[in-house]
């Protein structure tokens, strides 16, 4: 029987294509040195932490997703800080865990720790343009169709709730509806919605909990953006609210997602691999 496709391969292809298009055609303000340093640090950290945890093999896919996402969002004039963000992103998923799951989304954690700790790092929504936004939107929707195993319900719950809040705000203020339409035409919003909050390793296991989590993220992002008047409300909301996921998992227990690992020749290949790696690797997991 043919094993299920790993959705991370599509994510890597989409993010890499977007980064190349933004860098070459849209003039994203991220240099080749920062891109190389970020991706290199993410892969090196994945290898180092994986070896320390006793994982039986090196799997670069998750590290590439985190590194590419940081290249799209993180801005700094110091390449070493970009490398530090990548190491924090990968290290956080190995060290900060509750019941075997990450506490934070890796990309969000690496970025926000440095935003909080230094004034030399900031988050950029990017200059996407109408063409870039539409192309990325098609890539996101294509990914949901091609890989239905991804937990897209949390993405749709967030997007619907956030859009409702934006439209409700302009209706109450008597402003034109072109304002929320423009606010929704953001490549950073797509990246956040379809690549960050949909990560099955940092979202609740049960569907009802994921729907509630999506609504909470929308409310939190709206509050930060339009009540506290701080930029990057999406990133702040995810950073603050993700630690609630273990509580939601406890209140609404359900089966946990596992990335496809290949053909199952004798029993469950994922479980077999973890058993061979020892108890620490079983606690860390392959993602």
How many percent of the chain have pLDDT more than 70?
Answer: 79
Output the DSSP codes for 215-271.
HHHHHHHHHHHHTS--S-HHHHHHHHHGGGHHHHHHHS--PPP----S--SSS-HHH
pLDDT score of 88: 98
pLDDT score of 33: 95
Strands 101-102 and 121-123: unpaired
pLDDT interval class at 260 (50, 70, 90): low
pLDDT, tens digit, for every residue of 234-250? 999 999 999 999 999 99
pTM of the full predicted structure? Answer: 0.84
Q: What is the CA radius of gyration of the chain?
A: 19
pLDDT interval class at 117 (50, 70, 90): very high
pLDDT score of 267: 33
Highest mean pLDDT among 99-108, 142-151, 166-175: 166-175
> Do the beta carbons of residue 21 and residue 135 sit within 8 Å?
yes
CA 208/CA 78 separation, integer angstroms: 42
DSSP state of 27: -
pLDDT, tens digit, for every residue of 51-94? 999 888 999 999 999 999 999 999 999 999 999 999 999 999 99
Top pLDDT among 188 and 64 is at 64
First to last CA, the chain: 24
In 3D, which of 16, 197, 187, 241 has the Cα closest to residue 107? 197
CA 219/CA 241 separation, integer angstroms: 11
Highest mean pLDDT among 22-36, 106-120, 143-157, 251-265: 106-120
CA dihedral over 136, 192, 10, 32, signed as positive or negative: positive
Comparing 4-18, 146-160, 184-198, 207-221, which segment has the lowest mean pLDDT?
146-160
pLDDT interval class at 26 (50, 70, 90): confident
> Do the beta carbons of residue 248 and residue 202 sit within 8 Å?
no
Top pLDDT among 166 and 186 is at 166
pLDDT interval class at 42 (50, 70, 90): very high
């Amino acid at each position: 029987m043919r094993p299920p496709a790993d959705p991370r391969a599509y994510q890597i292809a989409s993010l890499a294509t977007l980064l190349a298009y933004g860098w070459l055609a849209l003039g994203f303000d991220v240099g080749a040195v920062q891109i190389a340093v970020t991706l290199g640090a993410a892969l090196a950290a994945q290898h180092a932490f994986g070896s320390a945890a006793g994982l039986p093999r090196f799997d670069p896919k998750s590290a590439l997703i985190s590194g590419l996402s940081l290249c799209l969002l993180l801005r700094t004039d110091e390449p070493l800080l970009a490398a530090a963000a990548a190491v924090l992103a990968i290290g956080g998923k190995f060290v900060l865990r509750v019941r075997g799951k990450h506490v934070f989304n890796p990309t969000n954690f690496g970025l926000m720790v440095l935003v909080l700790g230094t004034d030399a790092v900031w988050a950029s929504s990017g200059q996407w343009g109408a063409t870039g936004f539409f192309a990325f939107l098609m890539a996101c929707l294509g990914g949901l169709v091609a890989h239905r195993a991804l937990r897209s319900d949390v993405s749709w719950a967030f997007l619907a709730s956030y859009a409702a809040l934006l439209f409700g705000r302009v209706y109450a203020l008597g402003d034109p509806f072109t304002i929320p339409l423009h606010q929704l035409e953001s490549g950073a919003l797509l990246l956040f919605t379809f690549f960050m909050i949909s990560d099955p390793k940092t979202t609740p296991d049960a569907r009802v909990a994921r729907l509630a989590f999506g609504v909470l993220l929308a409310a939190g992002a709206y509050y930060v953006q339009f009540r506290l008047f701080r930029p990057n409300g999406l990133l702040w909301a995810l950073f603050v609210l993700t630690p609630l996921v273990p509580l939601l998992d406890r209140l609404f227990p359900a089966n946990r997602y596992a990335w496809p690992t290949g053909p199952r020749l004798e029993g469950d290949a994922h479980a077999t691999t973890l058993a061979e790696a020892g108890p620490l690797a079983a606690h860390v997991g392959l993602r």
